[in-house]
Amino acid sequence: MRQLLALPAVSLLLVFGCSPAPENPSQESDLDAGRAALMEADRAMFEAYSTSDSPLDTLMAHFLDEANVLPPDAPLARGKEESRAVFAALEAMPGFSLTWSPSEGDVGGDLGYTIGTYRIEVQDAEGFLLGIDGKYITVWKKQPDGTWKVGVDMFNANGPAVSVED
């Protein structure tokens, strides 16, 4: 009999104990503002990179000194110097161009992430333009001044390079 009485009590605990806590509208508003700021940081980094006379320097200015890059088919690049070398090798490719755009992101405290897509274009040995489409995830760390800097960047292609038709 006690077992039969315990069952409804346990059921009630599970139902009410597992219900999500009511959301605080101001906390949700803060999260929305944080997400928007992080997405803007990613977009602003691309804008600065794409319009700079020194794109690599501009890109690296957005990275923490201890940032790591996880490039496809290559070892982990630890720290800003090794991370810079990854992007320098890409930029050295004939006809290199890079575009990217974040599609989503989230924040929690002083960390956040953005996910997006990129396109790299390079020339092959015969001078034909090739396109590489891919995706990325970037982990950001909020700085004491409120700005965001890249802590980890990982990217990989959706498939092999394809010929770009003019």
* Tens-digit pLDDT profile for residues 16-73: 344 344 456 777 888 999 999 999 999 999 999 999 999 999 999 999 999 999 999 9
Q: Does domain 26-163 have CATH number 3.40.50.2300?
A: no
The answer, yes or no, to whether residue 14 has pLDDT greater than 70, is no
The answer, yes or no, to whether residue 81 has pLDDT greater than 60, is yes
Q: How confident is the model at residue 152 (pLDDT cuts 50, 70, 90)?
A: very high
Domain spans, the chain: 26-163
* Tens-digit pLDDT profile for residues 112-148: 999 999 999 999 999 999 999 999 999 999 999 999 9
Provide long-range contacts, Cβ within 8 A and 24+ apart, for 140-148. 140/38, 140/41, 140/42, 140/111, 140/112, 140/113, 140/114, 141/64, 141/110, 141/111, 142/107, 142/109, 142/110, 142/111, 142/112, 147/41, 148/37, 148/38, 148/41, 148/112
The pLDDT value given to residue 27: 75
The pLDDT value given to residue 88: 98
HEC states along the chain? CHHHHHHHHHHHHHHHHCCCCCCCHHHHHHHHHHHHHHHHHHHHHHHHHHHCCCHHHHHHCCEEEEEEEECCCCCCEEHHHHHHHHHHHHHCCCCCEEEEEEEEEEEECCEEEEEEEEEEEEECCCCCEEEEEEEEEEEEEECCCCCEEEEEEEEEECCCCEECCC
